[in-house]
Amino acid sequence: MFALVDCNNFFVSCERVFNPGLEGKPVIVLSNNDGCVISRSNEAKQMGIPMGSPFFKIRALVKQNRVAVFSANFNLYGDMSWRVMEALRQFDVSVEVYSIDEAFLDASSIRPDTLAPYGEALQRKIKRWTGIPVSVGIAKTKTLAKVANEIAKKSQKSQGVLNLASPQYHAFALSKLPVAEVWGVGYRISKSLENSNIQTALQLRDAPDHWILKRYSITLLRTVQELRGIPCFPLTLHTAPRQSISCSRSFGTLVETLPDLKEAVATYVARAAEKLRQDRLLAKQLTVYIRTSHFRQEPQYANAVTMALPVATDCSHELIQVAARGLEQIYQQGYRYYKARVTLTELSPTTQSQQNLFDTVDRAKTQRLMKTLDQLNNQWGNGTLKYAAEGLKPQWLMKREHRSPAYTTHWTELPLVKT
């Protein structure tokens, strides 16, 4: 038995916890660079603001209706997500964190006649502990739990909790769900199914096995089996070890010169190296990728270069230097760059580091330097200590004009409470 707990309009809900005056009002959250809408309150949805809409398209609507706008505050959302998952763990069952705002719980130890009250208890605890409203869907398989959650979220009657353990309601529930909204059915598969006259989840459930296997894949067949109530996807609790660490952002303003590009890339390398040290890993390979914007009518250029490191390292300045050399190889003048990505690969745990006889770097001294850098940045806030290569007042920094404070992760940005 599975319970899927899913936060309602998660990013907006996070903002509302620290701005209670926004309850009942239209609120939206924008992606990095204030590009497009990535979260909407129910009131904003009702106003017709589509998910993913570019901000410039709805500016007039937003102004007219006094919609509250926030730039994505991932410091806050990441921390709130951790809190929601920790609160779920208080229930003493296995929790699989599926995404930033969803988790599957193992509900097999709960008495069947208490499943709905259990769902309500989950909802109440999360709301009380974190302020985040959630919906709960309960069923024998993950796919059905997702269906239950979808219905619970939208139906007034269910108040956000729906127990679909009993098969007698399945036919009705599945007949109301478009096939495109079934977990695991993507856009292309849904279009293909619709062409074969399979419009609803119910019709998909009742499609013959051999037909599904022949036209699609074993994965879709498993999804169909799950719709029938046969569990095929178990709870996965152990995450596989990381294969790569990336840092990638688009630029606030287009970048043309090599020095500016080096600054941006240095910042991304520093950020990726921080994540590397946090996970206690070393990298032996670094890839730099740059490209122009394909939204614009101008000459296009994209390229990447992969650099090998003589010794696996987690040292920021070593990685920055290597990235700069790589950038020199792929940079072409005359283009306006829109985005860069830095990826660290060939990762190994720090406990397995190997020495190289010809290593010219004082590893012990570097370790102490990195540790001091991380400690100071943790204590005083990100960016307290930076490499000069990252630039002092860069123009290419992400636009985040409407960002709320990092209420739970920076001492200098705590909520102020009227006393």
Partner 1 sequence: MASVSPGHIAPVDEFPLFLCRVSAGFPSPAEEYREGSLNLNRYVIRHPAATFFVRAAGDSMLGAGIHPEDLLVVDRSLEPADGRVVVAAVNGELTVKRLSLQRGKAFLLPENKTYPPLEISSALELQIWGVVTFVLHAL
Residue 145, exposed/middle/buried by CB under 10 A (0-12, 13-18, 19+)?
buried
**Cβ atoms within 10 A of the Cβ of 254, count?**
18
User: Minimum CB separation from partner 1 for residue 44, in Å?
Assistant: 18
Q: Which residue is associated with the tokens 């059905």?
A: 144
To which H or E segment does residue 229 belong?
A: none
For residue 280, the minimal CB distance to partner 1 (Å) is: 15
Alpha-carbon gap, residue 263 to 265, rounded angstroms: 5
Q: 129 vs 216, which CB is nearer to partner 1?
A: 129
First and final CA of the chain: distance in angstroms?
47
Q: Among all chains, which residue has been given the structure tokens 């806050």?
A: 76
Contact between 356 and 311 (Cβ < 8 Å): yes
CB of 5 to partner 1, least distance (A): 14
Q: How far is the CB of 357 from partner 1 (least distance, A)?
A: 7
Q: Least separation, in Å, of the C-beta of 399 and partner 1?
A: 28
As measured in angstroms, the least distance from the Cβ of 76 to partner 1 is: 12
Task: Single out the residue of 181, 209, 256, 362 in contact with partner 1 (rule: CB under 8 A).
Answer: 362
* Sites for partner 1 among residues 66-95 (CB under 8 A): 82-84, 86-87, 90
Which one of residues 60, 240, 308, 357 is an interface residue with partner 1 (CB under 8 A)?
Answer: 357
Q: What's the 3-state SS for 178-212? A: EHHHCCCCCHHHHHHHHHCCCCEHHHHHCCCHHHH
**Between residues 102 and 260, which has the closer beta carbon with respect to partner 1?**
102
**In contact, 342 and 326? CB cutoff 8 Å:** no
Counting Cβ atoms within 10 Å, is residue 415 exposed (0-12), middle (13-18) or buried (19+)? exposed
Which residue, 128 or 393, has its beta carbon nearer to partner 1?
128
The verdict on 408 binding partner 1 (CB under 8 A) reads yes
238 lines the binding site for partner 1 (CB under 8 A)? no
Q: Report angle CA 384, 401, 127 to the nearest 5 degrees.
A: 85
Q: Which is nearer to partner 1, 213 or 414 (CB)?
A: 414
Least distance (Å) between residue 268 CB and partner 1 = 30
CA distance 350 to 348: 6
Residues 41, 9: Cα–Cα separation, whole Å: 6
Q: How far apart are CA 270 and CA 274, in angstroms?
A: 6
Helices (H), 228-291: 258-278
Q: What's the closest the beta carbon of residue 335 comes to partner 1, in angstroms?
A: 41
Contact between 385 and partner 1 by CB under 8 A: the answer reads no
Q: Are 336 and 255 in contact (CB under 8 A)?
A: yes
Which positions from 105 to 144 touch partner 1 by CB under 8 A, shown as an x/- string? -----------------------xxxx-------------
37: enclosing H helix or E strand: strand 37-40
Using the rule CB under 8 A, is 415 a contact of partner 1? yes
CB neighbours (10 Å) of residue 372?
A: 11
Q: Which is nearer to partner 1, 18 or 233 (CB)?
A: 18
Identify which range of 58-66, 106-114, 207-215, 409-417 contacts partner 1 by CB under 8 A. Answer: 409-417
Q: Which is nearer to partner 1, 23 or 256 (CB)?
A: 23
Using CB under 8 A as the binding rule, whether residue 360 contacts partner 1 is answered as yes
CB of 418 to partner 1, least distance (A): 4
Phi, psi (deg, nearest 5) at residue 275:
-65, -40
Size of site (CB under 8 A) for partner 1: 30
Give the shortest CB-72-to-partner 1 separation in angstroms.
21
Q: Give the β-pairing of 37-40 and 27-30.
A: antiparallel
Q: Which residues of 64-75 are buried (b: 16+ CB within 10 A; e: fewer)?
A: eeebbbbbbbeb
Among 329, 359, 372, 388, binds partner 1 (CB under 8 A): 359
Position 404 contacts partner 1 (CB under 8 A): no
Indicate the residue among 35 and 405 with the shorter CB distance to partner 1: 405
Inter-axis angle of helices 218-227 and 142-154, nearest 10: 60
Nearest approach, Cβ of residue 21 and partner 1 (Å): 2
Closer of 64 and 90 to partner 1 (Cβ): 90
Q: With binding defined as CB under 8 A, does residue 351 bind partner 1? A: no
Binding mask 11-30 for partner 1 (x = CB under 8 A): -------xxxxxx-------
Interaction site with partner 1 (CB under 8 A): 18-23, 82-84, 86-87, 90, 128-131, 357-360, 362, 364, 407-408, 414-419
